[in-house]
Amino acid sequence: MHTENGNPLAVSDMDYSRFVGLVRERNRPSGGIRSVQQAALHARIGPGSRVLEIGSNTGFTSVNIALLTGASVVGIDLQESSVAEATRYAEKQGVADRVEFRVGDVRSLPFPDGGFDAVWASNVVSFVDDKQAMLQECHRVLVPGGTLIAVPIYYRDLPPQSVVDRVSDAIACKVDVMSKADWRVFFESGREFELYHDEDYAYEDRSDRAIAEYCNVLMSKEHLRSVDAHQAAQIRARLHDFMTLFNENLRYAGFSVMLLQKRLVQDEMELFLSRPAQPAAELGLV
């Protein structure tokens, strides 16, 4: 039985953050390992780099940054159960000497100024009430010229309010209906970061069968096979409800991989913008 402050907590009462720690879902960032590789490449992360992940959850991003680049990584998360699972994951993947996880608050990071070459901030930003405090902390712990890697989820189409309310209840945090433009304004509001890489993606709608198969995979984890049938049924039902709800929500959503560089001096705005050109052959000019 999962507990909170020493008291039993029913599966049906768990928000998603606590539930992840129970089932030990790996909880990849939007775009999965491809987003990790893309960001690491454009942020020039490699052996000798020091990276901080805020909201590290059960460790997928931190561990895979280390595996793909050879960098040293620190992940922080509010949930002790997620930190414990992330630590186990780093050990299993053989990178425990370069990856560590701590319980911490992104609004007051326990690290010195300029301690990291890159900071990864995935969708955890959506869960933080004081987003400006978090952004200021990310800026503080980055070296000059360091990179803030942001992978925000946003709405491409206006979702029904009922869906937004249900997701807010599921994650125990009010969901703000934000567009990509809103996130850009937020990250660039203080003119302390310069956006230098930006790619957009939309989510694929997943079938009921795909969701059921995913639930089967998670329920086959060794620690869940040992629970009694009644509790296993409760866990599976809660898992299926979460995944079905998130799939419904993501039908209206997209995400971007944004890389922003910490600047000491800001340049003036760019006037003459550009976009990828259509090949001349497609225009009938050759």
**Residue found under tokens 């206006």:** 158
With contact defined as beta carbons under 8 Å apart, do 117 and 146 qualify?
A: yes
Amino acid at 66: A
Q: Give the integer Cα–Cα distance in Å for 37 and 26.
A: 17
Q: Give the gyration radius of the chain's Cα atoms.
A: 20
Tokens encoding 90: 């780093």
CB atoms within 10 A of CB 262: 21
- For helices 16-23 and 80-92, the axis angle rounded to 10 degrees is 40
Residues ≥6 apart with Cβ < 8 Å to 72: 49, 50, 51, 66, 98, 99
CB atoms within 10 A of CB 230: 8
With contact defined as beta carbons under 8 Å apart, do 187 and 134 qualify?
A: no
Q: Count H helices and E strands in the chain, helices first.
A: 10, 10
pLDDT digits (tens, 9 = 90+) for 224-245: 988 899 999 999 999 999 999 9
With contact defined as beta carbons under 8 Å apart, do 176 and 126 qualify?
A: yes
User: Most distant CA pair in the chain: distance in Å?
Assistant: 73
First to last CA, the chain: 69
pLDDT string in tens for the chain (286-residue length): 444 444 445 888 899 888 988 888 888 999 999 999 999 999 999 999 999 999 998 999 999 999 999 999 999 998 898 899 999 999 999 999 999 999 999 899 999 999 999 999 987 777 788 889 999 999 999 999 999 999 999 999 999 999 999 999 998 888 899 999 999 999 988 678 999 999 999 999 999 999 999 999 999 998 998 889 999 999 999 999 999 999 999 999 999 999 999 998 888 888 898 888 877 666 666 6
Give the pLDDT confidence score for residue 180 in this predicted structure.
96
Give the pLDDT confidence score for residue 1 in this predicted structure.
45
Q: Give the integer Cα–Cα distance in Å for 25 and 92.
A: 15
Cross-strand partners of 72: 50
Query: Of 4, 5, 8, which is closest to residue 18 (Cα–Cα)?
Result: 4
Q: Where are the beta strands (DSSP E) in 106-192?
A: 116-121, 142-150, 153-155
Q: Give the integer Cα–Cα distance in Å for 275 and 44.
A: 24
pLDDT digits (tens, 9 = 90+) for 154-170: 999 999 999 999 999 99
